[in-house]
Structure 1
């Protein structure tokens, strides 16, 4: 493979990686917005529990906390995936710079 062909191939790989990173960034932003909304919901449920102290308020808080934990797990997953894709990008960039 010539240097030109190798460079084209690497630039194609780089483009795919950058597109995936952009997709993951968008997903992470959406998950951050969801998490923030759930934070507000948890605070509201805590306030309701202090004022009402009934079973429905306790159930609402438990549900909101479970949803917030799930959103937090999705954010951690997003961060891990982004880290992996950034490493791939760095590796391709190193290869490109060596041509």
Structure 2
């Protein structure tokens, strides 16, 4: 027979795991935001270099690469956000069960 205390301990353990995953995702999301910001800066620098002349082929290649990398990082950000929503939903469900205990 599972006691209320055992059930509460189980729920609190689940809650801790969920909070740790949310923290991990928040850290990853911050890192991806920093990456996106750096790549946006690289895109702007490439666009500036294109407007000023110079080695157009090399700059165009850098620009394309920066745009692809930025788009990839933005996609990771969207995935992070989707995962965070799901983990927050799980946290809310566990919190409701804990408050009902």
| TM-score (ref. length: structure 2) | 0.94
What is the number of residues matched between the two proteins? 99
Q: Which residue of 1 aligns with 2:46?
A: 45
Q: Cα deviations across residues 72-92 of structure 1 (Å, max 9, x unaligned)?
A: 001001101111100000000
Q: Which residue of 2 aligns with 1:78?
A: 80
Q: How far did 1:49 drift? A: 1.0
| TM-score (ref. length: structure 1) | 0.96
Query: Where do 1:1-99 residues align within 5 Å?
Result: 1-52=2-53, 54-99=56-101
- Give the root-mean-square deviation of aligned CA atoms: 0.9
Task: Extract unaligned runs of 5+ from structure 2.
Answer: none
Q: How far did 1:52 drift? A: 1.7
Task: Extract unaligned runs of 5+ from structure 1.
Answer: none
- After the TM superposition, list the runs of 4 or more consecutive aligned residues in structure 1 that deviate by more than 6 angstroms: none
